[in-house]
Chains A and B, each alone.
Chain A
Amino acid sequence: MSAEMVTITVDDKEITAPAGSYLLPVCLENDIYIPNLCYVEGMEKPPASCRLCLVEIEGVKGPQVSCRSEIFAGMVVKTNSEEILKLRQIAFRLLVSTNDGSCRTCISNRSCELQQIAKFLKQPLKTKRLRHIDRDYPELIDDHPYLVYEPKKCLLCGRCVHVCSTIEKGYKLSFAKRGMDTIVSFFGSELDPASVDCQDCFACTEVCPVGSLSSKEKWKAFIAGLDKK
């Protein structure tokens, strides 16, 4: 890399990193965990929409999103202050206030990033401090030949839409509608099934932090397993 290497301090730990690169991936590489939901490795311009990766940067006013903070020489970052924890908790509560939270019957139970973040932020997955809003979605959308989508679990982080856009034959996923009705849609019923090249990809299901998007095959096997119990 041609960028100049500089030394920064994160939570009293010294890290050498290229100047101008984003803070979040550098921290993650150096075993400093910062919760994040909308960031995907290699993203050129992270949307900074989940607000979970907030940090304090000395000399910069107000909390900053680490996924969009560029590294400079002598940067001093705090990721674990009381204020930051509070802000992240508020962001988390807002996220789960519209979420389903039925972990026991979820395909991603125990491997779910939302569960991990809840543990990290010491927050319950069903918040009592905000009114829960049940979005008017069907439980399951399965008109795609290879994928199933469970809208009530979706956090609308946009990871799947992003990766699908980076795949040459992809970009079948997109956001549809708006506001509280926003949904990730693949318009399966609108596509000519023969033209859908998703059978060997599943990149979207791999980046999904929760169990909202899954391969149809795996999902069917999972449901069959549930019924047996």
Chain B
Amino acid sequence: MLDRILATLDESEKAAIDEEELAVLKAVADELLSVPQESLQLLPALQMIQTKHGYLPRLALRMVAEHLAVTIGNVYGIATFYNQFRFNPPGRNPIKVCLGTACHVKGGEIILENFERRLGIKENETSEDREYSLERVACIGCCALAPAVVVGEKVEAYVTPSKVEGIITEIEVRKEMAAREQEKNED
């Protein structure tokens, strides 16, 4: 099924699919085989892909449509309706900006915009190197620390624009250190 769908793409679309995505698509093709071919299975199938791979690749949605014999419109209608589905792969450093009531009042919106500008991506997107992904969440239960941001598993409290810069720099420094460590070990 995957090969047939890939054959309908033009060259530029094919080039846009990187190896990581292709591996996910291949896995999805196998996993779909265990899903009964009825339209009732649409939501469970999407949930399965989301849980296993952390996002719904574009072509996976076409595969689901074909497997369940429903239209692509149906699949997209449902997938875009629910917030639980993502369309971009999660980054290695997922950044979740809290926009619950307290964080909203304390300017969480500004923090989100800061991240967007710093990383050059919009909310619900992933940076090209898959290092960062950005999303807004409702309440993370740290209202006293507003505005709060969750980076990976770590909660950052009282975030300010300068702290946004600090968070990114810290990640970059850690990445750089890990790379040097690796180089040293290889030598």
Contacts and interface: CB of A to CB of B under 8 A. Distances in A.
- Residue picked from B72, B73, B76, B80, most chain A C-beta under 10 Å: B73
A186 B77 CA distance: 10
A174 B81 contact: no
Nearest to A190: B72
Given A171-B73, A174-B77, A190-B72, 9 more contacts: A171-B74, A173-B73, A174-B71, A174-B76, A176-B76, A176-B77, A178-B80, A187-B73, A190-B61
B71 A175 contact: no
Contact of A190 (B76, B77, B81): B76
Contacts of A172: 71-73
Given A185-B76, A190-B62, A171 B81 contact: no
Interface string B29-69: 00000000000000000000000000000100110000000
Contacts of A190: 58, 61-62, 72, 76
Contacts of B76: 174, 176, 185, 187, 190
A187 B76 CA distance: 8
A177 to B, nearest CB: 5
B74 A174 contact: yes
- Give the interface SS of chain A, mostly helix, strand, loop or mixed: loop
Interface of B: 8, 58, 61-62, 71-74, 76-77, 80-81
A175 B62 CA distance: 17
Contacts of A185: 73, 76-77
Interface string A100-138: 000000000000000000000000000000000000000
A222 to B, nearest CB: 26
A164 to B, nearest CB: 8
- Give the interface SS of chain B, mostly helix, strand, loop or mixed: helix
B8 A192 contact: yes
Nearest to B83: A178
Interface residues of A, number: 15
What 9 A-B pairs are tightest by C-beta distance, nearest first?
A174-B73, A174-B77, A192-B8, A176-B80, A177-B80, A171-B71, A178-B81, A187-B76, A176-B77
23 contacts: A171-B71, A171-B73, A172-B71, A173-B73, A174-B71, A174-B76, A174-B77, A175-B77, A176-B77, A177-B80, A178-B80, A178-B81, A185-B73, A185-B77, A186-B73, A187-B72, A187-B76, A190-B58, A190-B61, A190-B72, A190-B76, A191-B72, A194-B8
Contacts of A191: 72
Nearest to A181: B80
A192 B61 CA distance: 14
A17 B58 CA distance: 51
A186 B58 CA distance: 15
A175 B81 CA distance: 9
Contacts of B81: 176-178
B14 to A, nearest CB: 14
B143 to A, nearest CB: 24
Contacts of B77: 174-176, 185
